[in-house]
Amino acid sequence: LQRDAKGQYLFDLLCHHLNLLEKDYFGIRFVDPDKQRHWLEFTKSVVKQMRAQPPFTMCFRVKFYPTDPAALKEEITRYLVFLQIKRDLYHGRLLCKTSDAALLAAYILQAEIGDYDPGKHPEGYSSKFQFFPKHSEKLERKIAEIHKSELSGQAPATSELNFLRKAQTLETYGVDPHPCKDVSGNAAFLAFTPFGFVVLQGNKRVHFIKWNEVTKMKFEGKTFYLYVSQKEEKKIVLTYFAPTPEACKHLWKCGIENQAFYKLEKSSQVRTVSSSNLFFKGSRFRYSGRVAKEVMESSAKIKREPPEIHRAGLVPSRSCPSITHGPRLSSVPRTRRRAVHISIMEGLESLRDSAHSTPVRSASHGDAFAAPGRGGRAESSERVSVIADENYSPADSVLPTPVAEHSLELMLLSRQANGAPCSIEEEKESEAGTP
């Protein structure tokens, strides 16, 4: 990259490589040396935003989840959103009942290995795949049962679309959790979704505020304030405490961008927002992209031959003989490819996850969850990362954005330091003591 290259240049280059036109839903995320997550700002220089030394590690992510993913115009866009939500499920962000979890996993299985074939898929074949942080044999049998009996003949695109339709009905669809504490000191996760602001505690959604009810967001140091105006002139101020001032600022900026994207009618309505009540005091920030309504209108005008999709890790099946499995041919000129160094590191299961295929269980996979140090903290986290009969918790998410294989231990330490619950039993006790 040239030193003065803006974030928009890198993002456009990446979308060109992916042959992606509906790109406004996506962004580039990176983690600074202090383990703080950031979204790359497109109006600023890439190099100036990075505090680390090159080569820079960045992750392509869904930044704004589509309100209705089935309404996306192109299959390539739906496929990339499918990969993100599949990853959310794998990291414990997408909460669901066991019955919903089985159906979602079966859709993934159908999309990736095709129709059930007794010759290729022996007894217990679904146990070889890792759809969730951890799951039971009973759930594995249910996944295989649905895959065998209900999904035969579905092409990958159909299974992915059905997966998206089911996922969007769940309360935690689109959740990107920010760990915080409430005024009583209880651990909570704050998140912004296509429909509004949510607060999760344990495995429950304790607050849901629609975007048109949010009147203001601000922060001071580690403290985040959300001003809400509801029916009958009822006004509420929700207060939460982030682990660090940097985490609080990131939370605030995410909130400003999400509200602008989902609530406004036109990008011309976007205004510069200050973090403080005083004019020119504190941080100032302005969302620089298009809003959801404009994106949908633009998508409707797309007229081109659907781009070919190379589903990495897909096994050919009788139900989809038209899918090709050759190597991905880049559409970026060779000279431009040399100008960019993008290191794709997913941390846990880096090779498998970057290939977008469902992780396959193996000895090394188990090590990835417990390593590097098999201390009590890691074992505790692994023990509770299970889908219960009803729900599992976002607190069991392994990593919001994996950076390197040693980050798990750091995250577990930070979660305990920040007061995040480390077991389901502890969550229930804290809830019982909450006024």
Which of 168, 208, 210, 212 lies closest to 190 in space, CA to CA? Answer: 208
Nearest to 110 by CA among 358, 356, 326: 358
> Higher model confidence: residue 303 or residue 338?
303
**CATH code of the domain occupying 72-94+96-169:** 1.20.80.10
Burial of 378: CB neighbours in 10 Å, binned 0-12, 13-18, 19+: middle
Report which secondary-structure segment, H or E, holds 251: helix 245-263
Per-residue pLDDT at 368 exceeds 60: no
- What is the average per-residue pLDDT within 95-116? 93
Q: Where are the domains of the chain?
A: 1-63, 72-94+96-169, 178-300
Size of the chain, expressed as the number of residues it contains: 435
**Band of pLDDT at residue 198, cut at 50, 70 and 90:** very high
Q: For 62-66, 115-119, 239-243, which range has the lowest pLDDT when averaged over its residues?
A: 115-119
Beta bridge partners of 239: 225
Q: Domain 1-63 carries which CATH code?
A: 3.10.20.90
Assign a CATH topology to domain 178-300: PH-domain like (2.30.29)
**Is 355 a residue whose pLDDT tops 50?**
no
Residue 260 confidence (pLDDT)? 92
pLDDT for the residue 279:
53
* DSSP-based helix, strand, coil % in the chain, nearest 5: 40, 15, 45
pLDDT tens digits for range 133-172: 888 899 999 999 999 999 999 999 999 999 999 999 999 9
The pLDDT tens digits for 240-297 are 999 999 999 999 999 999 999 999 888 888 787 877 665 556 788 888 889 999 999 9
Higher pLDDT, 102 or 267: 102
**Long-range contacts of the stretch 115-120 (C-beta < 8 A, 24+):** 115/151, 115/152, 115/153, 115/317, 115/318, 115/319, 116/144, 116/147, 116/148, 116/152, 117/317, 117/318
